Amino acid sequence: MKNTFYPDLKYPVAELSAYSLATGKFVISLKTDEIIQFEPNDAETFKKWLQLYHVRNVDEEDL
């Protein structure tokens, strides 16, 4: 998992902490506390990839 990358995303999944989807762009929190934005060609496929690796979706958390 450490070296697992999604096409065009320069960070491996091991560095991703959480994400949110807003207006077609993913806002991703890295484990370094940096926040990045990523707009994949296929948002649904990218979301499934994040779910596969258990990256936390803050949109689904209870408030």
**Which tens digit of pLDDT belongs to each residue from 20-59?**
998 889 999 999 999 999 999 999 999 999 999 999 999 9
Return the structure tokens found at 6: 């999604």
> Which CATH architecture fits 13-58?
2-Layer Sandwich (3.30)
Task: Kindly tell me the sign of the dihedral angle through the C-alpha atoms of 52, 28, 39, 20.
Answer: positive
Is the predicted pLDDT of residue 1 greater than 70, yes or no? no
Measuring CA to CA, which residue among 22, 16, 24, 57 is closest to residue 41? 24
DSSP string, 42-57: -HHHHHHHHHHTT-EE
Is the predicted pLDDT of residue 61 greater than 80, yes or no? no
Is the predicted pLDDT of residue 3 greater than 80, yes or no? no
pLDDT for the residue numbered 30: 98
Question: What pTM does this model have?
Answer: 0.89
